[in-house]
């Protein structure tokens, strides 16, 4: 990817919708990496549930507020598809299928050699290996209905969707931009308030992605806007201690060993192991949870990104916006 000094990004903004917030970020420049503006708006429970929009009217009203607050009018929007809907599959394609014919071939194979847990998928592909007989392709699929729901909400507010992406790929793109990637087999664990997402990377390839729900009621947390301008919020439990608040992740911690064994024995027949675990996410106790992950993983664990990125007003960008920062670096065709 090429970067030019202070290339204008003013026509684009990046949004992340979760069950409890809308996040926004806009770049000033890619090189040097400087954020123009960012923000976050808390969502009451019930508007988005498990990644699906349930109350279009309330979401529309809140999005109207965000458009005014963040000066989004007529910006082209990149957005993140909710993790829970993403399926990653490795597919073998015959070598005589031309590059520009791969997607058409895969559509024809849906329901035959390729099985997805939903109908009418929308997908993207990444070719990883070629031989004389075949080529290996990673397929990233999501239900078209989910992507269309978010696209239509944006279009109704005259915010044309420019690109959609997957959160682990956004984080990895940012790591590449900051020269933090290594030739290793790694597990990325994203701990958010309502989900935990496990992603396995081998060098620069995303091999597996799995998202698990977390049973958290946002009514049990206080929301307090932090910065002087009220750009984002933090959450604190109303009655629980940090230790009690993290018990909802116990099942997810038990999943770590299964995911690591899947990589070692299913994908690599016992010949390769996960070498490093990285953590990311918007949970306010991410560092405490990372310590528990280290105990469960028995391999080195560190935060996915430790660099501090600043805005044009010299304000440090909170780590919870890392996914959007990586999304903002995505090229739009």
Residues of the chain with pLDDT > 90, as a percent, come to 74
- Assess if residue 110 is contained within a domain: yes
Rounded Cα distance, 310 and 318, in Å: 9
Residue 147's SS3 state is: helix
Rounded Cα distance, 311 and 309, in Å: 7
**∠ CA 205-207-210, rounded to 5°:** 130
Residue 143's SS3 state is: strand
Q: Is the pLDDT of residue 180 over 90?
A: no
pLDDT at 332: 62
pLDDT at 1: 25
The number of folded domains in the chain is 1
- Assess if residue 280 is contained within a domain: yes
- Model-level pTM? 0.91
In the numeric block, which tokens belong to residue 330? Answer: 């995505």
Q: Is the pLDDT of residue 134 over 60?
A: yes
Q: Is the pLDDT of residue 129 over 80?
A: no
Confidence of residue 128 (pLDDT cuts 50, 70, 90): confident
> Is the peptide bond between 205 and the residue preceding it cis, with omega within 30 degrees of 0?
no
Q: Which residues contact 243 (CB under 8 A, 6 or more apart)?
A: none
Please give the average per-residue pLDDT across 288-301, as a whole number.
Answer: 94
Q: For residue 213, give the DSSP letter.
A: E
pLDDT at 239: 92
Q: Is the pLDDT of residue 147 over 90?
A: yes
Residues of the chain with pLDDT > 70, as a percent, come to 95
pLDDT at 173: 93
pLDDT at 226: 81
Rounded Cα distance, 188 and 5, in Å: 31
We report the CATH number of the domain holding residue 25 as 3.30.420.380
pLDDT at 116: 92
Confidence of residue 6 (pLDDT cuts 50, 70, 90): very low
- Assess if residue 261 is contained within a domain: yes
Query: Which range of residues forms the domain containing residue 194?
Result: 12-329
- Assess if residue 3 is contained within a domain: no
Residue-averaged pLDDT of the chain: 91
- Assess if residue 6 is contained within a domain: no
Residue 228's SS3 state is: coil
Residue pLDDT, tens place only, 71-100: 999 899 999 999 999 999 889 999 899 888
Burial letters for 205-239: b for 16+ Cβ neighbours within 10 Å, e otherwise? ebbbbbbeebebebeebeeeeeeeeebbbebebee
Please give the average per-residue pLDDT across 116-133, as a whole number.
Answer: 84
Please give the average per-residue pLDDT across 232-258, as a whole number.
Answer: 94
pLDDT at 105: 93
pLDDT at 5: 30
Confidence of residue 4 (pLDDT cuts 50, 70, 90): very low
- Assess if residue 1 is contained within a domain: no
Confidence of residue 10 (pLDDT cuts 50, 70, 90): low
Task: Return the H-helix or E-strand segment holding 294.
Answer: helix 286-297
Burial letters for 136-157: b for 16+ Cβ neighbours within 10 Å, e otherwise? ebbbbbbbeebbebbbebbeeb
Confidence of residue 229 (pLDDT cuts 50, 70, 90): low
Q: How far is CA 306 from CA 73, 113, 180, 274, in A?
A: 33, 42, 10, 21
- Assess if residue 117 is contained within a domain: yes
Q: Is 64 exposed, middle or buried (0-12, 13-18, 19+ CB in 10 A)?
A: exposed
Please give the average per-residue pLDDT across 311-322, as a whole number.
Answer: 90
- Assess if residue 222 is contained within a domain: yes
Rounded Cα distance, 102 and 93, in Å: 8
């Amino acid at each position: 990817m090429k970067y030019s000094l202070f290339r204008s990004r003013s026509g684009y903004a990046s949004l992340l919708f979760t069950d409890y917030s809308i996040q926004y970020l806009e770049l000033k420049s890619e090189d040097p990496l400087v954020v123009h503006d960012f923000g976050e708006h808390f969502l009451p429970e019930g508007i988005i549930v498990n990644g699906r929009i349930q109350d279009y009217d309330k979401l529309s009203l809140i999005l109207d507020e965000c458009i005014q607050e963040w000066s989004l009018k007529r910006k082209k929007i990149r957005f993140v598809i909710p993790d829970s809907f993403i399926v990653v599959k490795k597919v073998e394609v015959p070598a005589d299928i031309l590059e520009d014919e791969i997607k058409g071939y895969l559509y024809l194979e849906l329901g035959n050699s390729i099985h997805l847990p939903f109908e009418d998928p929308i997908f993207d592909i990444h070719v990883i290996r070629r031989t004389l007989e075949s080529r290996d392709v990673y397929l990233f699929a999501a239900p078209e209905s989910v992507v269309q729901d978010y696209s239509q909400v944006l279009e109704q507010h005259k915010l044309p969707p420019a690109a959609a992406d997957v959160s682990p790929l956004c984080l990895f793109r940012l790591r590449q931009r900051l020269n933090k990637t290594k030739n290793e087999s790694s597990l990325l664990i994203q701990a958010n308030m309502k989900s935990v997402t496990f992603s396995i990377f081998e060098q620069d390839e995303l091999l597996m992605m799995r998202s698990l729900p977390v049973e958290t009621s946002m009514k049990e947390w206080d929301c307090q806007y932090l910065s002087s301008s009220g750009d984002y919020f933090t959450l604190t439990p109303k009655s629980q201690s940090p230790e009690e608040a993290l018990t909802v992740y116990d099942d997810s911690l038990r999943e770590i060993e299964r995911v690591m064994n899947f990589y070692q024995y299913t994908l690599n027949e016992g010949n390769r192991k996960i070498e490093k675990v990285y953590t990311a996410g918007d949970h306010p106790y991410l560092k405490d949870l990372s310590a528990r992950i280290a105990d469960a993983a028995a391999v080195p664990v560190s935060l996915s990104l430790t660099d501090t990125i600043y805005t044009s007003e010299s304000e440090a960008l909170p780590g919870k916006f890392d996914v959007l920062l990586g999304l903002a670096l995505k090229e739009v065709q």
